[in-house]
Structure 1
Amino acid sequence: MSAALDYRVTPNDDWLFDLATPCYVFDPQAVLASYATLRERLGTKLIVSLKANSQADLFVRCGHAFTDGVELASLGELDVVVGRGKIPKYLNNPSMNEAFIRAGLASRCHFILDNPDLAQRFAKLAAGKVTGDVLLRMNAGALASTEARKEWHDHFGMTPHEAFHVAEMLAAAGIRVTGLHVFSGSHTFRAGRRVDDGPDSADLALALARFAEELARVTGTPPTFLNLGGGFSEKGHERPVFDRYRERIVPVVDRYEIAHESGRGIFGNAGIFVTRVVAVKHWWDRTIVVCDGGMSHNFLLAKTESMLKTWQAPRIVRRELPQSVRGNATRIRHTPLSFVGSTCSRADVIGRITEPALAPDPGDLLLFEGCGAYNRTYTVGGFLSQQPAHVYIRQA
């Protein structure tokens, strides 16, 4: 049987039935392993994007390993890390307000400035204060110009013209731009084998280094630190991809202090979503499995933002109960199985099994893998005023 259809209960599964559902279970050891592997394959510093998973209990168990720093996008995330170690803290939010800036200055944070208006607010509040590194975020599409991939043209960062203006304005305020930042978006990391594969992540890194040289000629103080972003998949990348990438960016690594950043690639495979079956409806063309958790607890599973919906097939975990306790329907193979959530929305479909499978019974558990990044927080929690999912940290 495939993993999704594996009904066998092992001793390692027993603890799941004691959990309050729906819930997330995060594994610190998986986080630490993914971080170490990605950092080693990149051969550079690796900054952790905490917005992917800002669960405080998880950070307490993993934060000691994030020695290159964390990227924070809100006051709430800053509150999670302040006082929990001396790792570098990078603040990055296009709409950063005065309260966030003041808190960052008080916490000795580094700042990634997204636009001229933000830079002006920052300069006013930082005047006369000791600041950490100040980086300008560049728009990937504008930076690479005609060599950009279509998905690089998002709404983040500055054009080169804006960056020149901001650097001069900050210099006049006595604030030095020490670095540059660029990020081309989620799932965009690639290192092509051939030139005709089109622009890749190495081309973007080289473009950022070229702009750093141009900026140095204008300001007279060259940036020394380049944050090349990431876009790494939670599914990982083969070592040859990293080898090609590292070979291409040697000229950049030789001249600058380099960092990459990742959230999805570090947390993605370090969490599962667990929901309990509360009802099963056997129809002539399908079986509907109603769960106590759905899109109001894990919006991403519903695939509402996908053009082509390919739902995840959960692993079904059953208690070893006598057949007399279970319904006769479990003796019959049903197809397909649709797993639906706890709201009144037709979009609340969180999983599907299309091949022949034994339907679960009420009380069985469904385990959705790969829910460690964004799933808990990128969710319409206000719908129906449902309580958020519980959170557990798996013990070593």
Structure 2
Amino acid sequence: MHVENVSIASIAKDIPTPFYCYSYSAIKENYLAYKRTFSQQDTLICYAVKANANQAILKSLANLGAGADVVSEGEIRRALQAGIPANKIVFSGVAKTRDEIAYALVHNILQFNVESEPELALISEIASAQNKVAGISIRINPNVCANTHAKITTGKSENKFGIPIAKAQSVYQYAASLPGIKVQGVDVHIGSQLTDLEPYKQAFSKVAEFVAVLRSDGHNISIIDIGGGLGIDYHENETPPNKEEYAQIAQELLGHLGCKIIVEPGRSILGNAGILVSSVVYIKKGEARQFLIIDAGMNDLIRPSMYDAYHQIKPVEHTTNTSTFYDVVGPVCETGDTFTKQRELPTAQAGDLIAILSCGAYGSVMSSTYNTRLSAPEIMVKENQYSVIKSRPSYEEVIEQDIIPHWL
């Protein structure tokens, strides 16, 4: 198995497992695919930083002209440090704090995607105190079912995100009455890992109708933020949604409005550009099943434990023609530290390298040091070279973060 022109086995000789490994060329091509497919419209591609916030990845995308969709002050700082201009940054999230709003205003970001009336009032207060005008769009909740996992759907009426579309007209009127606020856009984001384009059609149709209503009320709507959420193929025979069709839907339903379109892809840029490489520690024979115990744990990749997420698991070097049904588990002291159950895989032995695929998004960025396990390093490959873009900490560095009070 290779990433670009570098064999995984050769990296594993220098970098102990587990480690994440990303393809620069795949990241670049996934981003440029959005640029091509949305070229008919005035579009800003704002990478969703939460998918993978590594500085090398952000710098790669900044060099290609990407903006950033951020959900915290920390992500704003990461985006700015990587060279993404403030006028290409949109600030999403339901719980923006006073300090975060003030920081974003000082740096003159493009837009706040507002989630509530109290947030509007706070942005107005802080902007007025800074003698600034905050560009805002209000995130509307269109009550559209995204047909995705319950924990990553965001566009239904029972979700915490956005303002119900039936109520949003009055909230826009309230926003227009506030000092320091410039009403400029409408925002919608209905969920993550969407594999069907029909929910987008429903949401975009509602947005188009709503923009017409807002303009008739006198609001100058010049931006439509259509969010992200386009799914990828986690399963071997799965076909991800077509980006060209996705862009065409946006063009057909929103193009006549003459607005700048903001797209916020994350998973669909990084997901299939990264893998988690691990080593087999033991093969354990239980009474009713066999366990393939690896050195990566749920602290490294939590998606299977958190979402029952499916990831393909492949041997790095194919050395056998036989197969065995395994429960693939990690070393963390939790039954939930399980990557898959009763999956047929090539028969393995201790020391074999395996790769867990489609981990570029929501892998390393969601990891922890639970059980005082050291965070997996991150590697980026470009053609025939690779570089460590995040190193594994030492035990001393992890433990020294704790502070013992003087009275102990």
CA contact (8 A) 2:280 2:354 kept: yes
The 1:385–1:61 alpha-carbon spacing in structure 2 relative to 1, beyond 3 Å, is same
Cα deviations by residue, 1:30-55 (Å, 9 ceiling, x for unpaired)? 11111111332244422211111111
Residue number among 304, 307, 315 corresponding to 1:301 in the alignment:
304
Say if 2:62 is the partner of 1:56.
no
Provide closer, same or farther for how the CA distance between residues 215 and 189 of structure 1 changes in structure 2, counting only shifts above 3 A: farther
Q: How does 1:201-212 map to 2 (within 5 A)?
A: 201-212=200-211
Equivalent of residue 181 in structure 1, options 180, 187, 197 = 187
8 Å Cα contact 2:59/2:83 also seen in 1: no
Distance 2:275 2:342 in 1: 18
Shift in alpha-carbon separation, 1:32–1:164, aligned structure 2, 3 A? same
TM-superposed CA distance for 1:285, in Å, is: 4.5
User: What is the aligned partner in structure 2 of residue 225 from structure 1?
Assistant: 223
SS of match in other structure, 1:177: strand
Choose 252-261 or 368-377, whichever is displaced more: 252-261
CA distance in 2: counterparts of 1:63 and 1:176, whole angstroms: 27
Deviates more, 1:340-349 or 1:208-217: 208-217
1:343 has 2:332 as partner = yes
Alignment of 1:1-396 (within 5 A): 13-43=9-39, 44=41, 45=43, 46-67=45-66, 69-87=67-85, 88-109=88-109, 110-127=111-128, 129-131=131-133, 133-141=135-143, 152-153=155-156, 154-160=159-165, 162-172=167-177, 173-188=179-194, 190-192=196-198, 200-218=199-217, 220-235=218-233, 236-238=240-242, 241-242=245-246, 245-246=249-250, 248-249=252-253, 252-283=255-286, 285-302=288-305, 304-306=306-308, 311-318=310-317, 333=322, 335-351=324-340, 354-355=343-344, 357-361=346-350, 363-379=351-367, 381=368, 383-396=370-383
Q: Report % sequence identity.
A: 21
Q: Is the 8 A contact 2:134 2:180 kept in 1?
A: no
Measure, in 1, the Cα distance between the counterparts of 2:164 and 2:258: 23
TM-score in terms of structure 2 length? 0.79
Alpha-carbon spacing, 1:50–1:359, altered in 2? closer, same or farther (3 Å): same
- Which digits, 9 at most, give the CA deviation of each residue in 1:331-385, with x for residues without a partner? x945212221011211211145633632222x22111110011122234x25323
Larger Rg: 1
What RMSD over aligned residues (CA atoms) do the two structures have, in Å? 2.9
8 Å Cα contact 1:47-1:66 kept in structure 2: no
- Structure 1 spans left out of the alignment, 5+ residues: 193-199, 321-329
- Find the residue that maps to 1:355 and give its secondary structure: strand
* Paired residue secondary structure (1:262): coil
Structure 2 counterpart of 1:335, one-letter code: T
Shift of 1:92: 0.8
Return the TM-score normalized by structure 1: 0.81
Q: Which has more strand, going by share of residues?
A: 2
Check conservation: 1:116, 1:162, Cα contact below 8 A: no
Which is further off, 384-393 or 44-53? 384-393
Q: Would you say the 8 A contact 1:113–1:134 is kept in 2?
A: yes
